[in-house]
């Protein structure tokens, strides 16, 4: 199966709230292509849906290392930081501080 097929399967599974299975698909994509920013991003979203917030933030950090201008990853990272009650970091991130 090609990475785009695995990625699409992950998105479909996530849309069905089968986040653990979606993450398994994203992990397979990332094993083949560790710099697949969308797989990293969607993995972070799925982890956040499972309330695994610290792991989600780590995924968003990885996305932002590869693609610093990935607006969705930056915004969702900020929201996830707020859920973790890291309010100063969350506000800075949402305000566009790319160092966070």
Would you write out the chain's pLDDT as a tens digit for each of its 100 residues? Answer: 689 999 999 999 999 999 999 999 999 999 999 999 999 999 999 999 999 999 999 999 999 999 999 989 999 999 999 999 998 998 887 776 656 5
Rounded Cα gap, residues 48 and 38, in angstroms: 15
Q: Which fold has domain 3-94?
A: 1.25.40
pTM above 0.85, yes or no: yes
Cβ–Cβ contacts within 10 Å for residue 14, how many? 21
Contacts of 24 (CB under 8 A, 6+ apart): 10
Rounded Cα gap, residues 83 and 48, in angstroms: 10
Cβ-contact 42, 4 below 8 angstroms? no
| 31 three-state secondary structure | helix
């Amino acid at each position: 199966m090609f990475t785009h097929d695995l990625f699409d399967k992950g998105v479909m599974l996530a849309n069905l709230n089968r986040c653990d299975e979606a993450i398994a698909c994203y992990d397979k994509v990332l094993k083949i292509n560790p710099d697949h920013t969308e797989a990293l991003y969607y993995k972070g979203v799925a982890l956040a849906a499972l309330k695994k917030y610290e792991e989600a933030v780590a995924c968003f950090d990885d996305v932002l290392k590869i693609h610093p201008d990935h607006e969705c990853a930056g915004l969702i990272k900020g929201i996830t930081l707020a859920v973790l009650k890291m309010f100063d970091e969350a506000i800075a991130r949402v305000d566009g501080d790319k160092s966070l």
